[in-house]
Amino acid sequence: MMTFHFVSVLLKQNAEEQIRQTAIQANGRLEALYGQLDALTNQVATDAYVQKLLLKEAGGHLLGFSERQYLMQIVNSYQTYSQGIHSFELYTNHYKRVFPLNEMDLVNRIGALSIQRANDAKGRIVWIGRDPASSDFLAIRQIRLMDRWFSPGGYLLVRVNRDYFQLTDVYSNETEEKGYMLLVDHDFQSIFSNFQGDPAPILHTQQRMIKQDGKEYIVVKQRSPLTGWLLVMMTPVEVLTSGLSILKNAILLSGAIGFLIFLIFSFILSTIVTKPILRLTKIMKRGKNGTLKPSPPIFSTIEINELNNTYNSLVDNINHLIQVVYEKELVRNRTELKALQAQINPHFLFNTLDALYWSLVDKEEEELSQFVLNMSELFRYTISHSKNDEWVTLREEIEHIRRYLEIMKLRWGDRLLWNMVVPFQYLEIPIPKLLIQPLVENAVLHGIGNKAEPGSVWVTIEEDSDSSDLIIKVTDNGHGMEEQTVQEIRKRLYDKEFSLLKGSGMAIINVNRRLQLYYGEDRRLFIHSELGKGTHVSMKIPKRGEQR
């Protein structure tokens, strides 16, 4: 197949190059004929008698009948030098015909556009195309008066025979009746064509190969730099590749025999080698589903048996490592969770007892009953460590925050204002216990507590418009933090290693780590704070509350 392809391509390239050379030669002939036409019309335009009459007419003198009649003899004498020229027509600079003798306006004869093109050419011959009054071709050139500083003096219109540019002898070989040739001018008007049909698709195509009437043709285009005409030659591919049929049959026969031999030996090899490998591969693919099982013994070549034994050893090692890693990760996660809760609980109880102390000093005894009730509920919610208490509903967490804020209200009085906005439809979503309260505690103690004037704490829960998450926000207008402190906290939020931290950043770091343990490592807290303006902390949790 490759040999046949290369030979076909080479043959087509050689044939295309030969056709291109033929097109170049044909264009050379056309340019020679065009050059003869240009030279002959130039002789007429520069003839002394023609120049004399047009100079006289340009000077405002009317030409006599005898002068125009003698002009006919002069022009006819030039016409005998070329069999391709049908006739000459001479016009004044005011578009009035001088020869032939009948009156005719040049504008009506060829149109103003062709006259303008002749003026722009400044004495050079201009191809017009088909004669509206006949089937011949027209060309025009402006006559320049040599004795009047080569100023415009008139126009010479030449009518060329339709057979002047015929190329019927270009195809002199046996492909004459099997190819097509088209010759068009710069306006795509046909000069010569033996193609039956609409030539527009062929003239405008950029492809080297086209299909026409069920046959494939090689298209060669050659544009003349002198005339601007386009010569298109179409040659059938089947004519150029007729000698490939024998080579094609030989290649097909060889390919069929080779394929048969290959099929027989492939079957034998697949039985000996491939079948055991496919069996082992099938067993290996089961590992994608998380099932790694040893492969049964394979009785085949020594190499296949060694491969099977190596795979079985690998499966045993991987299963052992998976079990070890799973147990270690499980112990690590539970240890981190217990350590985090162990940090939060004593810290919170200490702050609560401190609030109790200040409330007993500053408040009346009738308020102590409600305060003690809130305290008992806080202790019960916080100290509980049963497995089922690791997750609570959003309603329970919000209620716990409310109790805490009421207790803090007893301590801070009018200095503390708070508000919580939670949509009713999200109250039953499960979340980890103490996920929000430490952030609120941080806002009260380190935000409002460091501020002499009154401050506010807002807890807002809303739906994220860009995902299926809930956004939990804790905002205060307290003392705020310096940019260096904020950057240090953010750096510790990105730290993957967990340690038992102390200080004012403990609540933020702990909540961030618990958020990652419950919902995945891609979750984290977002913190923004400005000194003297307050702090804003937010996080995102799944709307359905599912655990990772």
- Looking up residue 347, the CATH number of its domain turns out to be 3.30.565.10
The domain that contains 87 carries what CATH number? 3.30.450.20
The predicted model scores a pTM of: 0.42
Q: Look at residues 125, 160, 195 and tell me which one is the last residue of a structural domain.
A: 160
Helix (H, G, I), strand (E, B) or coil at 385: coil
Distance CA 142, CA 540 (A): 86
384 shares a domain with 275: no
Torsion over CA: 95, 100, 104, 108 (sign) = negative
For 244-256, how does the pLDDT look when each residue is reduced to its tens digit (9 = 90+)? 677 778 888 888 8
- Sequence-ordered list of residues with C-beta below 8 angstroms from that of 174, at least 6 positions apart, any chain: none
Query: For position 476, what pLDDT does the model report?
Result: 94
Same structural domain, 281 and 350: no
In a domain, 293, yes or no: no
**Cβ atoms of 127 and 114 closer than 8 Å:** no
- Same domain? For 150 and 253 the reply is no
Long-range contacts formed by 49-54: CB under 8 A, 24+ apart: 49/74, 50/74, 50/75, 50/90, 50/143, 51/143, 51/145, 51/146, 51/147, 51/153, 53/98, 54/92, 54/93, 54/98, 54/143, 54/145, 54/153, 54/154
Q: State what percent of residues in the chain have pLDDT above 90.
A: 12
**Could you tell me if residue 478 is inside a domain?**
yes
pLDDT in tens, the chain (548 residues): 777 778 777 877 777 788 888 888 888 888 888 888 888 888 888 888 888 888 888 887 877 777 777 877 777 777 777 777 888 888 888 888 888 877 788 888 888 898 898 899 888 989 888 888 788 889 999 998 888 888 888 898 898 888 887 776 655 444 445 678 888 888 888 888 888 878 888 888 888 788 877 788 888 888 888 888 888 888 887 776 666 677 778 888 888 899 999 999 888 877 777 777 777 777 777 776 666 777 777 666 777 777 888 888 888 888 778 776 776 677 566 656 655 665 555 556 556 655 655 555 555 555 555 565 666 666 666 666 555 667 889 999 999 999 888 888 878 888 889 999 999 999 999 998 888 989 999 999 888 888 878 899 999 999 988 888 999 999 999 888 899 988 888 888 877 554 444 444 667 888 888 888 888 888 889 999 998 889 999 999 998 766 65
| 132 in the same domain as 279 | no
Q: Are residues 371 and 511 in the same domain?
A: yes
Task: Give domain status of residue 90, yes or no.
Answer: yes
Are 458 and 474 in contact by the 8 Å Cβ rule? The answer is yes
From CA 90, how far away is CA 78, in angstroms rounded? Answer: 13
Same structural domain for residues 256 and 369? no
Q: SS3 for 334-366, per residue?
A: HHHHHHHHHHHHHHHHHHHHHHHHHHHHHCCHH
Do 264 and 341 belong to one domain?
no
Helix ranges (H only) for 363-464 are 368-383, 394-412, 437-442
- Residues 407, 478: one domain? yes
Contact partners, residue 294, CB within 8 Å, separation at least 6 = 311, 312, 315, 316
State the residue range of the domain holding 482: 328-542
Same domain, 152 and 266: no
Distance CA 153, CA 51 (A): 8
Q: Is residue 183 part of a domain?
A: no
Same domain, 64 and 154: yes
Give dist(CA 525, CA 539) in Å, integer: 5
Query: Which tokens go with 179?
Result: 């190819």
Residue 403 and residue 502 share a domain: yes
Show which of 131, 160, 189 is a domain's final residue: 160
Q: Is 329 helix (H, G, I), strand (E, B) or coil?
A: helix
Residue 492 lies in a domain: yes
Of 231, 517, 545, 530, the C-alpha closest to 395 is: 545
In a domain, 23, yes or no: no
Chosen domain end from 286, 317, 341: 286
Number of domain units in the chain: 3
In a domain, 398, yes or no: yes
Identify any residues that bridge with 85 across adjacent strands, giving them in sequence order: 160
Is residue 81 included in any domain, yes or no?
yes
